[in-house]
Amino acid sequence: MQLAGKIALVTGAARGLGKGCAEAILERGAKVALLDTDDSEGQETVAAFTLKYGADTCTFILCDVTDKDQLEGAFQQVVDRFGGLDLVVNNAGILSEFDWEKCINVNLISVVRGCRLGLHYMGKQNGGNGGLIINMASVAGIYAFPAPVYATTKAGVVGLTRSLGMDHKFGKDGVRVNVLCPSFTMTNFITDAKGKASEEDLQQMQDMVEKGGGFLQIPDVVKGFVKLLDDDDKNGAALEVTLQGLKYHGCESGPWEHE
């Protein structure tokens, strides 16, 4: 997708991977709205981006993605302020195996809602120009992982993306939907993980990190995000990001679609 002059919305963008994706969008000449529940970090990030990329290139919207009205209001605010919408990044996510309903709300239900809103505002059937939705899942949505509820939400996001991305949908609304699936990446997500799953499961994750050769860094994942921005032929695709590099996961169509 050619981003110059376009308008984007990124959830969970005050810090970490969402912030990295928002900066990649600004670097490519688009405007971006950063949504997050963390007011002070969100304001700080937007202040720094404004200094670097110029006034009116970005805005912060305080928004809890699990609050239906706040999320709908944020989409409307972006369209009102910037005059349209071309790219939605459903990135906000948490690890919370004990408060597992919250995990499902943030990581899955809000992403379904974000996709529906993206299709509503960008879909050609509603007078939009078409566009792109990139969802943030995880390799935990593809392979077994010792945080079952988290893994379930991410598998749900992969399934949602594949199904929304079926070609017949793209033909109708002009909106492509793809999903990024990173492995362990050094962000606050990792440093805040204590207490969000059992000690035993966290230890198993630590062992996976050590066996796998360590953590990805934010720029490694942003590279994957940029690939999804650039690969205009992809729809319903899941891009894995690991220390081995970038790889599209198979199974983009079911056996009924093979010769």
Ligand X SMILES: CCCCC/C=C\C=C\[C@H](O)C/C=C\C/C=C\CCCC(=O)O
100 binds, among ligand X, ligand NAD, none (CB under 5 to 8 A by kind): none
Short-list 13, 240, 208, 205, CA closest to 95: 205
Task: Verify binding: residue 135, ligand NAD, rule CB under 6 A.
Answer: no
Short-list 147, 142, 122, 141, CA closest to 132: 122
For 49-81, b/e burial (b = at least 16 CB within 10 A) is bbeebeeebbbbbebbbbeeeebeebbebbbee
The one catalytic residue in 53, 121, 143, 150 is 150
Task: Verify binding: residue 117, ligand NAD, rule CB under 6 A.
Answer: no
Which residue's CB atom is positioned nearest to ligand NAD? 93
Q: Give, as ranges, the residues between 34 and 63 that touch ligand NAD (CB under 6 A).
A: 35-38, 63
Q: SS3 of 248, please?
A: strand
37 binds, among ligand X, ligand NAD, none (CB under 5 to 8 A by kind): ligand NAD
Distances (CA, A) of 53 to 15, 130, 152, 223: 17, 26, 38, 20
Q: Considering only residues 145, 176, 224, 237, which one is a binding residue for ligand X as defined by CB under 6 A?
A: 145
Please say if 150 is a catalytic residue: yes
Shortest CB 55 distance to ligand NAD, Å: 23
Task: Verify binding: residue 185, ligand NAD, rule CB under 6 A.
Answer: yes
Q: Give, as ranges, the residues between 157 and 216 that touch ligand X (CB under 6 A).
A: 183-184, 190, 193, 202, 205-206, 208-209, 212
Short-list 119, 116, 113, 89, CA closest to 22: 89
Shortest CB 158 distance to ligand NAD, Å: 12
Shortest CB 168 distance to ligand NAD, Å: 28
Q: SS3 of 79, please?
A: helix
Strand partners, 68: none
Q: SS3 of 235, please?
A: coil
Binding site for ligand X (CB under 6 A): 95, 138-140, 143, 145, 147, 183-184, 190, 193, 202, 205-206, 208-209, 212, 242
Binding stretches for ligand NAD (CB under 6 A): 11-12, 14-18, 35-38, 63-66, 91-94, 106, 136, 138, 182, 184-185, 187-190
